[in-house]
C-alpha cells in the first residue's frame, strides 16, 4: 500500500499557481526522486507534503488518512520529516544541539545520536562546532540527521546537492542506503539528475508544476529524461 498519496493537487502562492493537478504516490520503503529544472515546483511539492503549503484543490494522504488540513507541526509526530532547501540549521547552536532539536517528538525508532553519528561519521568529530562555523557538507549532514532524529516514516530531502562539491555530495548520498535499510521511505528532490537516478527506485520529472515523466531509472532513456526536464 502507498504510504504517501498526493492526489490531484493544485498549489498557489496568492494568484500564482505553482502546481497543477499533480498526483504522485510513494510506497512504504521506496525511494522516489523528483527531478526538474529551477521553478518546476519541486520544493513546493515537498512543502505541501510537510504542511507548510496547503493545496487549494486535491488531497495529501499519509498512511490512508487525509492530512491536507493538518498543521506542519502535527505531521512530524505522524512520521513526516523535512530536510529543507538551504538546510536551515541553527547557527548559534552546536551541530549536536541541532541534532537534539530534531529529537523532541520522541517518536520511538532506530535513530538517536549514536546511530546518526554512525551514519555520518564526519559529524561525530565536529559535534561541538557551532552551526555558523560548519561547512556546507557538515550543515547538510546535520540537517538530514536532525530530520532522522524524529524517526520519520517518510523523509523528505530537498536539494541535498545544492552548493556542495561533488565529493561532498557523494559522501552525503552514501548514507542513503543505510537510511532506507531502516525501512524509512524517502522522497528526494534533486536538480542533480545523475545523483537522483543513482539512488531512486522510481523517478518523477516535473515541468512547470506538472509531472511530465515517471518511471524506474533503468527504464528511462537519457533522451526521455532530457526532453522531460527541459520541456522539448
**DSSP, res 94:** B
| 159-178: contacts with ligand ATP (CB under 6 A) | none
Q: Which residue of 23, 115, 180, 191 would you call a contact of ligand ATP, by CB under 6 A?
A: 191
Q: Are 164 and 118 in contact (CB under 8 A)?
A: no
Give the residue with the Cβ less far from ligand ATP, 181 or 226: 226
Give the residue with the Cβ less far from ligand ATP, 38 or 92: 38
Among candidate residues 51, 54, 59, 50, the one with its CA nearest the CA of residue 23: 59
Distance CA 71, CA 51 (A): 6
Q: How far is the CB of 7 from ligand ATP (least distance, A)?
A: 19
Distance of CA 199 to the CA centre of its chain: 13
Distance CA 28, CA 184 (A): 8
Strand partners, 35: 190, 205
Give the residue with the Cβ less far from ligand ATP, 40 or 175: 40
Q: Which residue of 43, 81, 139, 150 would you call a contact of ligand ATP, by CB under 6 A?
A: 43
Q: How far is the CB of 12 from ligand ATP (least distance, A)?
A: 9
φ and ψ of 25, to 5 deg: -125, 150
Q: Which residue of 4, 6, 9, 18 would you call a contact of ligand ATP, by CB under 6 A?
A: 18
Q: Is the dihedral of CA 201, 159, 103, 64 positive or negative?
A: negative
- Determine, following the binding rule CB under 6 A, whether residue 13 of this chain makes contact with ligand ATP: yes
- Determine, following the binding rule CB under 6 A, whether residue 15 of this chain makes contact with ligand ATP: no
Q: For binding to ligand ATP (CB under 6 A), which residues are involved?
A: 13, 16, 18, 36, 38-44, 85, 191
Amino acid at each position: 500500500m502507498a504510504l504517501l498519496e498526493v492526489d490531484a493537487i493544485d498549489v498557489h502562492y496568492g494568484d500564482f499557481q505553482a502546481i497543477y493537478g499533480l498526483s504522485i504516490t510513494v510506497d512504504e520503503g521506496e525511494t522516489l526522486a523528483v527531478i526538474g529544472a529551477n521553478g518546476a515546483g519541486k520544493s513546493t511539492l515537498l512543502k505541501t507534503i510537510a504542511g507548510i503549503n496547503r493545496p487549494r484543490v486535491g488531497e495529501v494522504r499519509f498512511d490512508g488518512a487525509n492530512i491536507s488540513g493538518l498543521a506542519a507541526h502535527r505531521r512530524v509526530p505522524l512520521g513526516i520529516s523535512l530536510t529543507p532547501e538551504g538546510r536551515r540549521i541553527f547557527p548559534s547552536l552546536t551541530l549536536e544541539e541541532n541534532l537534539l532539536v530534531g529529537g523532541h517528538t520522541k517518536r520511538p525508532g532506530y535513530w538517536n545520536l549514536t546511530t546518526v553519528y554512525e551514519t555520518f561519521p564526519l559529524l561525530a568529530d565536529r559535534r561541538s562546532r557551532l552551526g555558523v562555523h560548519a561547512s556546507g557538507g557538515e550543515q547538510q549532514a546535520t540537517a538530514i540527521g536532525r530530520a532522522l532524529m524524529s524517526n520519520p516514516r517518510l523523509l523528505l530531502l530537498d536539494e541535498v546537492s545544492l552548493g556542495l562539491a561533488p565529493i561532498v555530495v557523494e559522501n552525503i548520498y552514501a548514507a542513503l542506503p543505510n537510511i532506507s535499510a531502516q525501512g524509512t521511505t524517502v522522497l528526494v528532490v534533486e536538480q542533480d539528475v545523475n545523483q537522483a537516478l543513482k539512488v531512486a527506485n522510481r523517478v518523477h520529472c516535473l515541468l512547470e508544476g506538472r509531472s511530465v515523466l515517471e518511471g524506474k531509472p533503468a527504464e528511462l532513456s537519457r533522451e526521455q529524461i532530457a526532453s522531460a526536464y527541459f520541456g522539448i
